[in-house]
Structure 1
Amino acid sequence: MAGLREMTMDLKLMGRVDAALLHGTALPSPIFRTVLGVWLQTKPTAEKRQQCLSCHAPAVTVFPQHTDRIIEQVLTGKVTVEGISCASCHMVEKLAEDTKQVPAFQINADKTMFGPFKDAEDNMVHNSFASPLYKGANYCTACHFEKTRDIRSPTIDSEILEGSVCQSCHMEQTTGSSTSKRGALTREIGRHYFRGIVIPGLMLKNRNLQAEWMPRLEVKADRSGTKVEGEIAVMNGAVPHNFPDGDPVLKQFYLTVTVKDKNGHLLGTTQKTFGNSYANLLEQPLGDILVKGGTTKHVPFELTLTAEGEGMLLDVMLTYSLIPRPEPGLLEGYLKTLPSDADREKATRLLANYAEPRILTFRTKPL
């Protein structure tokens, strides 16, 4: 990128890179506003409030004094500030030395724009500087910190994707134009759609994608009388994608184990929840979630049956929700801040919908 007026067809169609993309729509989003409002009922510190906005409005990492003003705009639904703009990404100079810091990017707030271009040229608006960081996966995982096992690695730890990085699929190369002091120039540029390449229909048709992107379950179980003990291995493909997507801080996963007799009568059940509550959303380690590309999590379980019998079946189901279900006190406190019954009804409906568990996969095993 030699200038802010750099154009490809996607930028020409949208006018602004953040006008029609998920990168730029969090702040005015109804569910973002609602979840933020509930979380604020936990009385987070100023540091936590800034960290919460850091990925959605990176400017607060440089100007933390504006954090509460932006939050107030989000809560009122009258957002006048930018979330993710061109400068938000192209002012990232380096990553933090602390490997646990999330988000990891560090912005240099002067007139220099950074990018992956080969021959950096200053223009009449800003200086330009070529940075190899922009060609690494670690540039993306500075915010999308749950996508890979090593978020500071510039490469992806996957035999299938060896030699590829996030930008290979999500910013495929095209031809664009840029400005310099010498006028308009034509050169290669990555597309700025940032589109994902997975849709439900594609997932249903392509078994290879299911095998690599969907979590799988392996179950070991032993029964002694009415006691059942075992272990569930939640195996995630080597491709650094989590399915479903969603905010890694908010996502919830549920492993439900049930035992039924040969007639389908329930004899016992137990469930484990993986995810943060609103009170500890930003507690470390961030991004250490149950379904994470290239990892296998081992989960022990035990339950006591109500009766013995033959022909028993053990069912294990993995479900997820995009947000945690708010505790009654937090929900009540947030609803009191809303101006009308219609707003309260809408917020309640949104939270219920996004917190509803949905099935990912299951496994059945005879006991």
Structure 2
Amino acid sequence: MNDKGRSIQKLAMGGVLLFMALLNITFHERAIAQKTDGEVPADWMAEIEKIFIRSEDCKQCHDRHYEEWKGMREQTPDLKSFGRVDAALLHGTSFESPVFRTVLGVWMQTNPTMQERQRCLSCHAPAVTVFPQHVEKISAQVLSGKPQIEGIGCAACHLINAVETTPLPPPTYKVQPGEMLYGPYADPEENLVHPATQLPLFRGANFCTSCHFDKVKDVTQKDLPGEILQGTICQDCHMEPSTGSSTSKRGAMTRAIGRHWFRGVVIPGTLLKNRNLQAEWMPRIEIDATKSGAGVEGTVLVKVGSLPHSFPDGDPVLKQFLLAITVKDAQGNVLSEETKRFGLPYDKILRGPIPDPFVKGGNTRRVPFSQALKDGGAPATIEVVLSYALIPEPDAELKAKYLATLSTEQERATAKKVIEEYIQPRMLTYRAKSL
């Protein structure tokens, strides 16, 4: 080929590359400027989405992970329904879920400050750490039931480039705004869409616990402590291992990848196939009780093994635990009973330090009790039931205030159903002892 031919070839190649780059820029700007429903977003939304790229953009290449994140790949009834009581909410539906809308709506009736609202949204919408000025607008979208801003999208995780190395109030992640996206691969492919680089943090438990901070004893460590889970991290169970290509465009090229649906313990096989894990996971009750005059007194011990995982569900703030203590006579008649509740009410949530949950790996809770018996009763047995609920029960006034903010009877019926289902106690463990 002569010099003139080579020059023409170089110009042609340069033109192709320039065209592809312009096409990508045009596509991205169009994606920012117009939502899937055809509505043009407000300026503040476009400002956010220039950094926190919408996951629909990522879908163009990463369609497999997008479908997992959104719950589209496994269209089973449990994934189709929002607000599952077993706490298997998908990250990709975090803002659309009527559960989050209802809980946020009730909590907002307690008049949290703007800083407290930002603290709440910082894990549900990491964009607020970069754009704190838009907290109120994002909250309003969630409460409307038709959010356009994404909550936990692709960029929300893949813009994280560090976590705190000393225990600080959560969340502990750090977002790096920019074009660079971070991930676990040592050799990310070059492309015209975005630069990428490897970050070992993505293979550490401390990445997940920057928001799910109640799950481990030390949120600064990348490895889970204890012999049972030695060498295991959160991602090994909650991002089911598979093989393939993260872009779904590479044909035969395969390597280890993790699924992006982040499912919880609703997969019973995780417990059933490992009895040691099952034994360590579940709390156990011991009862130290004595008769004392016309009553019974003593201590209930709730023991959780060394597994650094609090059960149940991924929420570190809302969970409620109930310890029901009942004294019966030899015929099974109830002589006395009481229920002790552990967990924050709505007006205490995110006001000050977040306490450890009642059930936390490696801890023993000692709960003293003293009960007076019915006249003439002869105590024979004491029974203790440990249960949990996923959200606090709002008092009647607080519930009424939130329901009054909803515009239709259908919305109010949905909110009532969410509250009713999620405040229901579900048994964790039981113990009885003869007196």
TM-score (structure 2 length as normaliser): 0.76
Kindly provide the CA deviation profile for residues 14-49 of structure 1, in whole angstroms up to 9, marking residues without a partner as x.
547345571111211112111111100000000111
Aligned AA for 1:141? T
Say which SS state the counterpart of residue 419 (structure 2) adopts.
helix
Residue from 87, 102, 111 that aligns with 1:43: 111
Aligned-pair CA distance for 1:57: 1.1
Counterpart check, 1:136 vs 2:188: no
TM-aligned CA distance change 1:18 to 1:108, over 3 Å: farther
2:42 aligned residue: none
Q: Which runs of 5+ in 2 are unaligned?
A: 1-56, 73-88
CA–CA separation in structure 2 for the residues paired with 1:136 and 1:283: 29
CA–CA separation in structure 2 for the residues paired with 1:355 and 1:330: 15
CA–CA separation in structure 2 for the residues paired with 1:144 and 1:215: 19
Asked if 1 retains the 8 angstrom alpha-carbon contact of 2:327 and 2:379, the reply is no
2:372 aligned residue: 304
Counterpart check, 1:167 vs 2:235: yes
Count of equivalent residues: 361
Counterpart check, 1:12 vs 2:64: yes
Kindly provide the CA deviation profile for residues 256-312 of structure 1, in whole angstroms up to 9, marking residues without a partner as x.
111111112222122211001001111444260011223222222222222455461
Aligned-pair CA distance for 1:122: 4.5
Asked if 1 retains the 8 angstrom alpha-carbon contact of 2:158 and 2:183, the reply is yes
Asked if 2 retains the 8 angstrom alpha-carbon contact of 1:6 and 1:177, the reply is no
Once the two structures are superposed, the pairs formed by residues 231-242 of structure 1 within 5 Å of their partners are 231-242=299-310
Aligned AA for 1:249? V
Once the two structures are superposed, the pairs formed by residues 203-352 of structure 1 within 5 Å of their partners are 208-286=276-354, 288-307=356-375, 310=378, 312-352=380-420
Q: Which runs of 5+ in 1 are unaligned?
A: none
Once the two structures are superposed, the pairs formed by residues 7-156 of structure 1 within 5 Å of their partners are 11-12=63-64, 14-15=66-67, 17-18=69-70, 20=72, 22-96=90-164, 99-120=167-188, 122-156=190-224
1:355 aligned residue: 423
Asked if 1 retains the 8 angstrom alpha-carbon contact of 2:320 and 2:342, the reply is yes
Residue from 251, 263, 267 that aligns with 1:199: 267
CA–CA separation in structure 2 for the residues paired with 1:24 and 1:170: 14
TM-aligned CA distance change 1:6 to 1:339, over 3 Å: closer
* Comparing 337-346 and 197-206, the one that deviates more: 197-206
Aligned AA for 1:96? E
* Comparing 64-73 and 34-43, the one that deviates more: 64-73
TM-aligned CA distance change 1:349 to 1:172, over 3 Å: closer
Asked if 2 retains the 8 angstrom alpha-carbon contact of 1:6 and 1:176, the reply is no
TM-aligned CA distance change 1:269 to 1:88, over 3 Å: same
Q: If you compute each CA radius of gyration, which structure gives the higher value, 1 or 2? A: 2
Aligned AA for 1:233? L
TM-aligned CA distance change 1:111 to 1:205, over 3 Å: closer
Aligned AA for 2:140? E
TM-aligned CA distance change 1:31 to 1:191, over 3 Å: closer
* Comparing 85-94 and 284-293, the one that deviates more: 284-293
Say which SS state the counterpart of residue 330 (structure 1) adopts.
helix
CA–CA separation in structure 2 for the residues paired with 1:362 and 1:88: 40
CA–CA separation in structure 1 for the residues paired with 2:121 and 2:290: 47
Asked if 2 retains the 8 angstrom alpha-carbon contact of 1:262 and 1:311, the reply is yes
CA–CA separation in structure 2 for the residues paired with 1:230 and 1:71: 46
CA–CA separation in structure 2 for the residues paired with 1:311 and 1:330: 40
CA–CA separation in structure 2 for the residues paired with 1:116 and 1:74: 31
Say which SS state the counterpart of residue 17 (structure 1) adopts.
helix
1 or 2 for the larger relative contact order (CA 8 Å, sep ≥6)?
1
1:364 aligned residue: 432
Name segments (4+ residues, structure 1) moved above 6 Å: 5-8
Aligned-pair CA distance for 1:243: 3.3
CA–CA separation in structure 2 for the residues paired with 1:126 and 1:110: 10
Asked if 2 retains the 8 angstrom alpha-carbon contact of 1:234 and 1:296, the reply is yes
* Comparing 297-306 and 95-104, the one that deviates more: 95-104
Q: Greater helix share, 1 or 2?
A: 2
* Comparing 127-136 and 167-176, the one that deviates more: 167-176
Say which SS state the counterpart of residue 298 (structure 1) adopts.
strand
CA–CA separation in structure 2 for the residues paired with 1:202 and 1:143: 22
Aligned-pair CA distance for 1:351: 0.8
TM-score (structure 1 length as normaliser): 0.89
Q: Percent identity?
A: 50
* Comparing 34-43 and 348-357, the one that deviates more: 348-357
2:47 aligned residue: none
Kindly provide the CA deviation profile for residues 337-357 of structure 1, in whole angstroms up to 9, marking residues without a partner as x.
111233223322321221111
Asked if 2 retains the 8 angstrom alpha-carbon contact of 1:100 and 1:285, the reply is no
TM-aligned CA distance change 1:159 to 1:201, over 3 Å: closer
Say which SS state the counterpart of residue 106 (structure 1) adopts.
strand
Kindly provide the CA deviation profile for residues 177-203 of structure 1, in whole angstroms up to 9, marking residues without a partner as x.
367xxxx97543333232335435876
Aligned-pair CA distance for 1:204: 7.5
